[in-house]
Amino acid sequence: MIEAQELSKVFSGTRKMPEIQAVRGVSFRCESGQIYGLLGTNGAGKTTTLRLLATILYPTSGTARVAGYDIVDDPEKVRARVGFLSTATALYRRLTAREMVEYFGRLNGLDGERLKQAVDGLFTALEMHDFAKRSCEDLSTGMKQKVSIARTLVHDPEVMIFDEPTLGLDVMTSRVIVNFIRQCRDRGKTVIFSTHVMSEVEKLCDRIGIIHNGRLLAEGALAELRGRYPGSDLEDIFVHVVGGDTV
Amino acid sequence: MSVRNIGVVYRKEVTDLLRDRRTIVSMVVIPLLMFPVLAIGIGYLASEAMGTAQKEIPVVMISDGMDSPRLLAMLQTDDEFHFEPAQPDYVAQISDKKVRASVEVPRGFDAAQENGTPEKIYIDYFEGDVNSSLAANKLEKFFDKLRDKTVKRRLEAHQIPANILEPFTVEQKNVAPPEKVAGATLGGMVPYFVILLCFTGAMYPAMDLTAGEKERGTLETLLSSPVSRTDIVLGKFLTVFSASVTSALLAVASMGVSFTYGQKFFNVSDSGSETDMRSAAMPHLQIGLHAVLAVLLMALPLSMLFSAVLLAISLFAKSYREAQTYVTPLTFLIVVPAVVSMLPGTELTARTALIPILSTSLVSKELVSGIYHWGYIGMIFGASCVYAVAAIAVAIVLFNREEVLFRI
């Protein structure tokens, strides 16, 4: 489960850059076995929110509980229970696919037979045995994405955080990701993901949060949002929530 | 802090680095090849050049001397020289290296020798040209011998024993053991290279493991793992430190082999005076293994300091290129104190013992000469360790600051 309470993040300015209030008092809940979609334009604060939940960044104020642990007080325990995948989480190009997944297994405390079982299981489930011994730099985008998925799953986390997981991928690879997200939910994991692709949200999400300028402006199941705002299409709702066609 | 996690990070980083050609070049190839190329290459070229110059029979001109047939005959029958008839532009010919030197014989030289009038012979040569200088030296030797013969003949004519001109002889005798001579002459060089390679060996891995990771987008992947940032930075630090030490070790090993092999090679290659000439061009390096190990031991905390400083600086950079701009000028900071320590008169004192790099360089110079000032050794080792730990602490603090990790 994820429970964000008044999460805020301010990036202090420099001589060249003004201060940025990336996330402003965001609160929401995402239950186990549910997919929560964070919808927003570029620069809306999606990535920062997810990085805060994954404890890669520390909040300026507010906090969140992820899988039962506080992100401020127990960041390492949170990370041990989270699988984080984003466009910024690349692979070590000089490691083989198998070494990459094994490394993250070890970083998550797995060793010996347990590590072997976990990695073997994932390589079978994701059909990765063929390229297990190839360097990550020699893999196709689809293969790389599979390695990344295996990397996030190797410690069987309770919570999955995906930051724009289908960005820049072709239709086939995107489908692999979408199916994988669905499987995560079916196995009872808590899933949160950010995107600006409306169709993905409509297909996948149990709950939707619309974020704009760092604020969570609307939140609820798709049906609830439809009832609350004019238009049946998610895109119409989104445009309405973020302030109309002037955006 | 978890030793297991530091070990996991360390193992991965070492595997990753060893697969990179750039690391292999900076950590293995350069330290291994530097000395054979420097020592054997330059030594060989220098000795070859000297050998060729020595073997050459110089072309020499004699100006005047037509009225001294005895001297001319002696000169022309000497197979150390090849004489050519004098030409008025002999100065130009020496400058153009067509002729190595020329002898200006004063008028009536033979006659003056008979009646005992002192005369002066000039040898013209081109200063700075090795071949010309060697020819001039040979000519001077020839005339020295001739003068000695003349003196001997005159003394005999007056029935005076020849040794009257030499009531006693003087000779310099070296009492310093060979390793102390090495310490004074070449001793400064060994620590200099050890320090330099500790630095250059750490340079590339430090940049690759921090700025390189940022650039390739793997840093965020790593930070999403539950391992603490302190463990990550310590694992990375140990990797850089290992690279630094490996680089220095390989350099020392290669230096030992180069000099040992180089000396043997030059000593057996030829005989006679030429061997002395050749082995003089090849530096003698008789430093005991224990001294080299002591230098390496003293370099360890310095290597730690370099690794931590390089890691902290490169972590701040956004890209590999930016890291290079910060790190490259640092090389001068390393070279300057190391060179200063080699200058005569820079001594180990309580004050210099606290200056990092310089102190290690100075104490290493002493170690190589077989001098063990335990007080200073302890003080320098301790001070270097303190600096190193402080630098590691700074690196850990920086690694925990998100404005450094995610600099825009």
What residues have CB less than 8 Å from A10, skipping those under 6 apart?
Answer: A19, A20, A21, A22, A60
Say which of A54, A89, A107 has its CB closest to residue B8.
A107
A69 — contact with chain B (CB < 8 Å)? no
Residue B262, pLDDT score: 61
pLDDT band at B266 (very low <50, low <70, confident <90, very high): low
Contacts of B222 in chain A (CB under 8 A): 107
**Residue B171 resides in a domain:** no
pLDDT tens, B273-328? 444 444 444 445 556 677 778 888 888 988 999 999 999 999 988 888 999 999 98
**Residue B170 resides in a domain:** no
Q: Which of residues 134-153 of A touch B (CB under 8 A)?
A: 151
**Residue B270 resides in a domain:** yes
**Residue B16 resides in a domain:** yes
Can you say how many angstroms the Cα of residue A53 is from the centroid of all Cα atoms in its chain?
9
Provide the token pair at A166. 């289908």
Query: What's the sign of the alpha-carbon dihedral B325, B327, B328, B330?
Result: positive
Query: What's the sign of the alpha-carbon dihedral A227, A231, A235, A236?
Result: negative
pLDDT of B68 strictly over 70: yes
A104 — contact with chain B (CB < 8 Å)? yes
Residues B322 and B201 in one domain: yes
A94 — contact with chain B (CB < 8 Å)? yes
Say which of A58, A89, A107 has its CB closest to residue B226.
A107
Write down the H helix ranges in A56-215.
75-80, 97-107, 112-125, 141-153, 171-186, 198-204
B33 — contact with chain A (CB < 8 Å)? no
Residues B95 and B220 in one domain: no
Residues B232 and B328 in one domain: yes
- In angstroms, rounded to a whole number, what is the distance separating the alpha carbons of residues A97 and A147? 6
Residues B154 and B185 in one domain: no
pLDDT tens, B102-132? 988 888 888 888 888 888 899 999 988 888 8
pLDDT band at B91 (very low <50, low <70, confident <90, very high): confident
Contact at CB, A94 and B16, closer than 8 angstroms: yes
β-pairing, B59-63 with B101-104? parallel
pLDDT tens, A104-156? 999 999 999 999 999 999 999 888 999 999 999 999 888 888 899 899 999 99
Lowest mean pLDDT among A134-143, B19-28, B211-220, B269-278: B269-278
Q: Which domain holds residue B120?
A: 53-165
- In angstroms, rounded to a whole number, what is the distance separating the alpha carbons of residues B375 and B95? 58
* pTM for the full predicted model: 0.79
User: For residue B129, which phi and psi values (nearest 5 degrees)?
Assistant: -95, 115
A207 — contact with chain B (CB < 8 Å)? no
Contacts of B7 in chain A (CB under 8 A): none
Say which of A12, A58, A103 has its CB closest to residue B12.
A103
B15 — contact with chain A (CB < 8 Å)? yes
User: CB-hemisphere CA count at 13 Å for A119?
Assistant: 23
pLDDT of A231 strictly over 80: no
Residue B31, pLDDT score: 83
Residues B160 and B186 in one domain: no
Contact at CB, A103 and B8, closer than 8 angstroms: yes
Q: Which of residues 10-39 of A touch B (CB under 8 A)?
A: 11-12, 17
Residue B264, pLDDT score: 61
Nearest chain B residue to A88 by CA distance is B217
Domain stops at, among B109, B136, B165 = B165
pLDDT of B187 strictly over 70: no
Q: Name which of B1, B218, B225 to mutate to probe chain A: the one with the most chain A Cβ atoms within 10 A of its Cβ.
A: B225
Lowest mean pLDDT among B28-42, B229-243, B381-395: B28-42
Residues B214 and B133 in one domain: no
A103 — contact with chain B (CB < 8 Å)? yes
Q: Which amino acid, A47?
A: T
CATH number where B67 lies:
3.40.1710.10
**Residue B203 resides in a domain:** yes
Contact at CB, A94 and B20, closer than 8 angstroms: yes
Residues B161 and B258 in one domain: no
Mean of pLDDT values over B382-392: 90
**Residue B172 resides in a domain:** no
CB A62 within 8 A of CB A7: yes
Residues B191 and B328 in one domain: yes
Please give the full DSSP string across B295-350, using - where no structure is assigned.
HHHHHHHHHHHHHHHHHHHHHH-SSHHHHHHHHTTHHHHHHHHHHHHHSTT----T
As a whole-number percent, the residues of chain B with pLDDT over 90 amount to 23
Residues B16 and B66 in one domain: no
Shortest CA gap B301–chain A (Å): 29
Residues B276 and B130 in one domain: no
pLDDT tens, A9-60? 998 877 777 888 899 999 999 999 999 999 998 888 999 999 999 999 999 9
Contact at CB, A54 and B224, closer than 8 angstroms: yes
CB A89 within 8 A of CB B220: yes
Domain stops at, among B136, B165, B194 = B165
- In angstroms, rounded to a whole number, what is the distance separating the alpha carbons of residues B383 and B386? 5
* B105: helix, strand or coil: coil
Nearest chain A residue to B21 by CA distance is A94
Residue B179, pLDDT score: 56
**Residue B65 resides in a domain:** yes
Contact at CB, A90 and B216, closer than 8 angstroms: yes
Contacts of A99 in chain B (CB under 8 A): 12, 15
Whose structure tokens read 């290459």?
B41
**Residue B173 resides in a domain:** no
Residues B158 and B185 in one domain: no
Domain stops at, among B101, B130, B165 = B165
Whose structure tokens read 């630094």?
B244
A89 — contact with chain B (CB < 8 Å)? yes
Contacts of B406 in chain A (CB under 8 A): 57
Residues B34 and B58 in one domain: no
Nearest chain A residue to B235 by CA distance is A107
Domain count, chain B: 2
A133 — contact with chain B (CB < 8 Å)? no
